[in-house]
Amino acid sequence: MNDIGRLPGLTPTIGGSTYVKPAEMEWQPTRFDKVSIKVLYEDRERGEMTCLLKLEPGAHIPFHKHPEIEQSLVLEGSVEDHDGVAKAGDYIWRIPGSLHENFSPNGAVLFAVYRKPNIYYQAARETAGF
C-alpha cells in the first residue's frame, strides 16, 4: 500500500471498498423481452441501483417514470427515446418525474444509475422496478 500523500493519523477503512467484476457475472433476465441486467450495486431500502443493461436488437423498455434522477452512459450500440438518440460514449440524464420509453433498434449496453425504482405503465396499471 502506498502511504505517499496521506495526512498523518489517517488510515484507510479496511473492507470499505467492494470490487465488482461484471465480466464474471451472468446477464439476468428482466421482465422485459430482450432486456437483461447485471446489478452492480443495490440498496433496496434506499432505492438505489447501479447496473449494466443489455438491450438486444429490437428491445423496447415500456413507458415509465423516474421518481428521481436517472443517469445512463451508453457503452455499446445505441438507444433512443422521444428526445433523441444516444450512441456509444453518450451520456443521458433525466430529471426527477420525467416520463419516457426506450428503444434500441440495433442493441445496446448501458451503465445506469437509479435512485428509487422506476414506475412502469402497462395496460392501465402501475408497477415498480425492473
List domains and CATH numbers for the chain: 37-128 (2.60.120.10)
Joined grid coordinates for residue 114: 437509479
Tens digit of pLDDT for each residue in 6-43? 788 888 899 999 999 999 999 999 999 999 999 999 99
* pLDDT classification of 1: cutoffs 50, 70, 90: low
3-state secondary structure of 129: coil
C-beta of residue 72 within 8 angstroms of C-beta of residue 91: yes
Residue 107 pLDDT more than 70? yes
> In this predicted model, which residue has the larger pLDDT, 8 or 77?
77
What percent of the chain is modeled with pLDDT above 70?
89
Output the pTM of the full model.
0.84
> In this predicted model, which residue has the larger pLDDT, 117 or 106?
106
84: exposed, middle or buried (Cβ count in 10 Å: 0-12, 13-18, 19+):
exposed
Tens digit of pLDDT for each residue in 78-93? 999 999 999 999 999 9
Phi then psi dihedrals of residue 24, to 5 deg: -95, -5
Residue 3 pLDDT more than 90? no
> What pLDDT shows up at residue 125?
46
Mean of pLDDT over the chain: 90
Spatial CB neighbours of 112, under 8 Å, sequence gap ≥ 6: 49, 50, 51, 52, 53, 70, 71, 72, 73
3-state secondary structure of 23: helix
